[in-house]
Every structure is written in C-alpha cells, then in structure tokens.
C-alpha cells in the first residue's frame, strides 16, 4: 500500500454500520471499573485512553514499530533520556541538533552524572566518539542547519559497540525518512511540526522496534504524567490523513524556494538537502524519500535579515516549522546555535509557489 493511502487509513477502526470513520475524542479521567482492573482495557486517564490507542496504532503502522504518544516533543525526548541514562553513562549528541534537547542533556542529565559528548552532524562525526557510550542521539536533517548524517552507517557502527541509537526525525517526518527501517532503536518526532501541520497543537511521539522499550516508555509517561490531551491526539490523527498531500506540496515549494534563493545576489548561502549542489544531497538521496519543507539561507547581517522579514507580506514571522502557512525567522535571535546572525530558517507551506517567490522577491528588494 502506498503512503498516500496509508496515512488516510492508518489506525482507524474496522468499518461498522452507522459508526464514524474516526471516533471522536474520549474525554475521561476514570472509567467504569468493577473487580479486577486487568479485566478492562481502560481504567484511568493517566494510564491510557482510546483516542491515544487509535493514533498510536496509526503511527506504529507508518513507522514500522510500536508508537507511544507524549504531550510534546520534549516530553518524548525527556522520556527517552530518562529511561536510558543514569549516572556514569555516556551519551553522544549532535552539536548542531535541537537546542532544547542539548540543553536538557547538558543541564539536568550532566548534573546527575551522565557524560555528554557532542560532535557535528556533518561527516558522521558523532561516530568517532562512541567509545564507552550507551546512547547515540542523531538528528538528520539537523535543526536549524539542515546537515545530514548517514543513519544506517552510524547505526551499524554504534550497534557493533553495544550503543543504542535514537533518531530525531522531526524535520523529515515518517513519510520522508524511516529511522527504524534504517536500523535505529528509537524514532522520535515532535508532532507539533509537519506531521500534524496545522499549527494548532503540541504533541510528540516515540516509535520502537522492541515492544519491551514501548512498555518502558509507557510506564515513564504514566509515572511522570507526560500525557497528551485527548483533543490534541484526535486532531493529530485527523491531520495525519493529509500528511502525504501536504508534504508533497511543501517539499515542492521548498525546492522552488531554494532554487530561487540560490540565484539571488542578496543571499550568501542556501541549505536544502533536496538541492543537487547541497553538500549533503548525496547522503540525503540514499535515505530520504522527501526532503521536507525547511530551507535555510543566510543574508549578510542581522539587520538585512530583519529588513527582509519585515518586508514580506505572505511569509509570516514565527518559530516552529512544518505548517500549512509559510513561516520564517531569524534563528540567531534565540541564541544557542552556531549560525550566523543573518541566518533565516524558512518553512515552506502549501501556498502557490509563484506567490511565495513573489513575496521572497519583495523581501529581498528591501535588503
């Protein structure tokens, strides 16, 4: 079955006369529960919810494993780190990966005695730091720099040394890249971004091949209360059905945008894995089926970037990425990433590409 069909049908119940295609969200704390709790599939809202069940089933079908949904991408990140890392352990993270994940590892987990090593995503540099490690954390394409590593190669190297591998797949999504099929032990995503794509919820998930790890993650979610609301999960499952068509348009727009920017004298540098001239393109082609909506480009200064953003009328200034609406931001305003002051992270939406190019030209004319 093709992805376009899978996302529409994934996780939905078998047809039943008079019932909806996707049941509505279940709002419940307690459930009716007489006698032995084990006799009921549902007992209490912090443990499980039928709306979670449908969405997790859908994600599992797409990921090729078993999925556990969390209240946010960082809740999912915290669960993996919390379940795996203890005092004396060593974890290897991308130096250019998502800032909040690095901050968590280098802050809390370093304070409890975990040794954190970092290396760039480019050139598979993390593979040179695996000695004695317990966990290798990959992010490909990286956020915000859009570097790519050879996931299968690094997984093979890590597993040969007994190291578990996590891949943050937020930028690519499960339709752009399948970490579990590439050998990773954990596939992580912030579903706030392109997977749901409407900018109206915060959510995350982890998918695993080993069901024992799924149980460990669910136990963590229950004990720490990192549970998602049923309305958010239902909205996510509803939105999942359009993931294929959204990604198709967004990736096509991103490539058009990247090509346009590459020809403009105001732009110092463009990064997009889908560009044949991008330094990571050869690796990306081997492991990605779509190159995603995110384009990075540099203008000469922070002032130039702010003028550009201020002159755009269609491209909205906002953080996050992967939504229907095209957004952009001067990423260095947050700090924490090794990028230039004029670096802009842009997320191509589903608008008509000619309108996007016209708006980019309007913004660049102000620089």
| Dihedral in degrees, nearest 10, Cα atoms 160, 165, 171, 172 | 50
Known catalytic residue at 46: yes
Is residue 47 flagged as an active site residue?
no
Q: How far apart are CA 281 and CA 8, in angstroms?
A: 30
98 is catalytic: yes
Nearest-angstrom CA–CA distance, 16 and 18: 6
Q: What is the three-class DSSP state of 283? A: helix
d(CA 198, CA 323): 5
> Which residues fall within 8 angstroms of residue 44, CB to CB, at 6 or more apart?
29, 30, 31, 33
Query: Do residues 302 and 341 touch, judged by C-beta distance below 8 A?
Result: yes
Under DSSP, the state recorded for 91 is: E
Buried b / exposed e over 155-174, threshold 16 CB at 10 Å, is: bebbeeeebbbbbbbbbbbb
Annotated catalytic residue within 6, 42, 96, 98: 98
Closest alpha carbon to 298 in 344, 354, 235: 344
Active site residue 168: yes
What are the CA-CA distances from residue 367 to residues 255, 299, 300, 310, 329 (Å)?
22, 9, 9, 10, 15
Looking at 186-318, list the stretches that DSSP marks H as alpha helix, in order from N- to C-terminal side: 211-224, 230-240, 243-262, 281-287, 302-311
- Of the candidates 117, 134, 178, 193, the residue annotated as catalytic is 193
Quote the CA–CA distance of 275 and 63 in Å, as a whole number: 26
What is the rounded CA–CA span in Å between residue 127 and residue 125? 5
Beta strands in the chain (DSSP E): 66-70, 90-94, 115-119, 135-139, 164-168, 186-190, 204-208, 269-271, 294-298, 316-317, 327-330, 343-347
3-class DSSP state of 319: coil
Active-site residue (options: 31, 44, 46, 264): 46
Rounded to an integer, what distance in angstroms lies between the CA atom of residue 18 and that of residue 217?
36
Q: Choose, from 89, 96, 168, 191, the residue flagged as catalytic.
A: 168
Which residues does the annotation mark as catalytic?
Answer: 46, 98, 168, 193
């Amino acid at each position: 079955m093709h992805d376009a069909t899978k996302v529409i049908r994934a996780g939905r119940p078998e047809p039943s006369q008079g019932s909806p295609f996707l049941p509505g969200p279940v709002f419940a704390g307690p459930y009716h529960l007489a006698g032995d709790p084990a006799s009921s599939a549902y007992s209490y809202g912090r443990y499980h919810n039928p709306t979670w069940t449908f969405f997790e089933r859908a994600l599992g079908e797409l990921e090729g494993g078993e999925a556990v949904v969390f209240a946010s991408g960082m809740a999912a990140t915290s669960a993996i780190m919390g379940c795996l890392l203890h005092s004396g352990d060593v974890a290897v993270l991308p130096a250019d990966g998502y800032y909040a994940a690095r901050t968590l590892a280098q802050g809390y987990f370093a304070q409890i005695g975990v040794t954190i090593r970092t290396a760039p995503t480019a050139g598979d540099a993390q593979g040179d730091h695996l000695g004695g490690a317990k966990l290798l954390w990959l992010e490909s394409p990286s956020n915000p720099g859009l570097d790519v590593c050879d996931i299968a190669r690094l997984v093979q190297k890590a597993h040969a040394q007994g190291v578990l591998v996590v891949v943050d797949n937020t930028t690519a999504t499960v339709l752009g890249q399948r970490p579990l099929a590439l050998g990773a032990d954990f596939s992580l995503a912030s579903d706030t971004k392109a997977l749901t794509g409407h900018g109206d919820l915060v959510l995350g998930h982890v998918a695993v091949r080993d069901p024992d790890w799924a149980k460990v993650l669910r136990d963590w979610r229950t004990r720490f209360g990192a549970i998602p609301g049923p309305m958010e999960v239902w909205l996510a499952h509803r939105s999942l059905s359009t993931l294929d068509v959204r990604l198709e348009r967004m990736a096509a727009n991103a490539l058009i945008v990247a090509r346009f920017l590459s020809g403009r004298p105001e732009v110092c540098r463009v990064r997009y894995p889908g560009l044949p001239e991008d330094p990571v393109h050869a690796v990306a082609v081997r492991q990605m089926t779509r190159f995603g909506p995110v384009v990075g480009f540099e203008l000469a200064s922070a002032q130039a970037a702010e003028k550009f953003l201020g002159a755009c009328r269609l491209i909205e200034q906002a953080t996050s990425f992967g939504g229907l609406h095209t957004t952009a931001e001067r990423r260095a305003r947050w700090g924490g990433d090794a990028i230039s002051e004029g670096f802009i992270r842009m997320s191509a939406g589903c608008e008509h590409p000619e309108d996007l190019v016209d708006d980019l030209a309007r913004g660049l004319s102000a620089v």
